[in-house]
Amino acid sequence: MPSASASEAPRPPSRPASASPPGSPPSAPTSPPRPRATSASRPAPGAPRFADADADADAVASAPCSPRDKAAPAERDHLRHKSATANGHAGAIRRHVAGAPTTVQVRQVVAAPASARLGARRSPLAVRALCWVLHFLGHALCTAAYLVWSQLLLLWPAVWLSAWLYVLLWPWRLLLAWGWNRVRANRPTVLVSGGGSVQALHLARNLYSCGARVICVEVEGVFRLSRFSAAVRRFYTLPAPAASEDGVQRYVRALCDIVQKERCSLYVPVCSSTTAYYDAFAKPHLEMLGCTVFCPGVREVWLLDDVQEVLRRAEEAGLHVPLYYPVARRDDVLRLYESGVLAAGTHFMASAGALGCRDRVKLRLPAARAQFRMPYEMSPQRPWVVVQDLPGEHFLTCTTVRDAVVLANVTCRVLDSGELVPVDHRAVDQWLTAFFSRLRVLRQFSGHVSFRFVVSEASGALVVLGSRVGVSLPYICHDSAHARLLWRPCRRHQQLQQQQGASASAAAVAAGRYWLPDALLQTLRAQPSLRAVRRLLGTVLDKREALFAAWDPLPYCAYYHLQLPTRRVVNLLRNAPPLQGCPLPPTH
């Protein structure tokens, strides 16, 4: 058989133009398929496929021009130049890779490490450290801003609510101010001290609701909370009685000037910023001006403000008292530590005597002798008393006494968190009645007294821990009827006392109170549950907020947004921890 010529040698089957070599990425979809290449235009088997690119460029260059191309000859010249450039580059690439497979070059490029390509772009270490610090500071600022905003988110709604209520009520006050003041012109004027305390604010509101004209006073350097109240007609400041040697005289003289100027008929000392010791000295001077002082005299204050004297009188009356030890020197306290008396249980030490009633200081004693510190003077002229604080439920009272007879009383149970919960405790009422009935004093006295009790876990007996003269914090659970008992005796209350055997709680309505920030924080700290939300709603619906009143909203804003933040900032700047006192909360 004759042999075939070279031009007629069998060719290997050519791969379609749309197929791609194995391992290469799939090509993107192209325009409509081109005509199948003939044998004259098909490339050789081993040559790279660059002829298609040349054909495409020639086709683009020789394609009929559209109307837009006719109007733009510069674009046609650009296409011809691009086609010639592509042909030149294609020829150069064909000459360069004629003796080596194309895949080798591709593998070399792929195998090149990324660090070699990015090594020149890597930033220095100092720049990266600076960027990290700036990033960290940005996150810290964002976190701080979030914490601040989360706090404001809880408080600002109350601010806006109080502000709008004040704005809405202000026109009515302007319309009724003239006529209301004319009606109240002949009403009695009541002077209330301690205008920076919560209980003084409630006392002023209750007296105002009963028709009295209220004037509030406070010593210098104390926040003037009652000044923001609509119930207070005027507000005065007094010099601090303990600021100088003649401080007591200046304090009494300032009180007399205010009583003469405002024609006050009743003075009710709250004794929150100053002790009843100074108001007792001012009592005879104010009574000479025709102003009744609802406060005991000097001798009665020395009795009721001295913890040691109260425990001694209660013990003489046959009432339960804790173990107490009078001390006059530091060595006396150290001997109690050596004997093991202070090692078991909890003890506190309170100032005693006449000067102790003026200072009214209370400290908690540590269990170890090495931790005992005495920052105050201790001498026979300034004695102290160590009292055992029994474990059990603690109670705090606000007792109103007129002519040495219990007129009204509110008893609150003190929780571990310091919250006061009003309760109806018959044993406390009976103890108060028995104590004042057996108390022998030179003259009958009137005033507010706060007693502290504990129900012993071991014996279950009601034990008194001490007392102080003044309006205590449980007073906020009194209703407005109690204010009438101070300056206008109530016949209805006298009838109830006769019917119920002079019950101490006859005129007191122990309505529950709550502090809105504390209720919100307790709900947020608890695990998110439907029960916590129900408890919060029940508290808001069943109880009244301790400071908020729709007709008097400004004190609420002033207390939570001015007084408390300022007090915390001042304590932080002073960098001095508060003195540890009795586990019972303060009564002011």
Report yes or no on 542 lying in a domain. yes
Q: Tell me, what's the pLDDT at 10?
A: 45
Q: Tell me, what's the pLDDT at 11?
A: 46
Q: Each residue of 189-247: pLDDT tens digit?
A: 999 999 999 999 999 999 988 888 999 999 998 999 999 998 999 999 999 998 777 88
Report yes or no on 573 lying in a domain. no
Cβ atoms of residues 420 and 383 within 8 Å: no
Report yes or no on 227 lying in a domain. yes
DSSP-derived letter for residue 418 is S
The last residue of one of the domains, among 246, 281, 298, is: 298
The residues with which 348 forms a beta bridge, in sequence order, are 364, 387
Report yes or no on 276 lying in a domain. yes
In this prediction the pTM is: 0.67
Q: Tell me, what's the pLDDT at 238?
A: 95
189-192 and 213-219 strand pairing? parallel
Amino acid at 411: T
The last residue of one of the domains, among 263, 298, 333, is: 298
Q: Each residue of 43-73: pLDDT tens digit?
A: 444 444 444 444 444 444 444 444 444 444 5
Nearest to 483 by CA among 514, 451, 509: 509
Angle at which helices 51-62 and 73-96 cross, to 10°: 170
The residues with which 144 forms a beta bridge, in sequence order, are none
Number of domains the chain is built from: 2
Cβ atoms of residues 199 and 587 within 8 Å: no
Q: Which phi and psi (to 5°) does residue 461 adopt?
A: -85, 155
Report yes or no on 72 lying in a domain. no
Q: Tell me, what's the pLDDT at 491?
A: 53
N-terminal to C-terminal alpha carbon distance within the chain: 129
Query: Tokens 């204010």 identify what position?
Result: 483
Tally of CB atoms within 10 A around 282 = 24
Report yes or no on 526 lying in a domain. yes
Query: Tokens 């005289």 identify what position?
Result: 249
Report yes or no on 155 lying in a domain. no
Nearest to 358 by CA among 276, 245, 466, 243: 276
| CATH code for position 220 | 3.40.50.20
Q: Each residue of 379-437: pLDDT tens digit?
A: 999 999 999 999 999 999 999 998 888 988 999 999 887 788 888 899 999 999 999 98
Report yes or no on 235 lying in a domain. yes
Cβ atoms of residues 397 and 412 within 8 Å: yes
Cβ atoms of residues 204 and 268 within 8 Å: no
Q: Tell me, what's the pLDDT at 308?
A: 94
Domain coverage including residue 251: 189-298
Low-confidence ranges of the chain (pLDDT < 50): 1-72, 75, 79, 82, 84, 86, 89-90, 92-120, 490, 492-493, 496-510, 576-588
Q: Please enumerate in sequence order all residues whose Cβ is within 8 A of that of 284, keeping only pairs 6 or more positions apart, or say none.
A: none
The last residue of one of the domains, among 279, 298, 317, is: 298
Q: Please enumerate in sequence order all residues whose Cβ is within 8 A of that of 302, keeping only pairs 6 or more positions apart, or say none.
A: 309, 354, 357
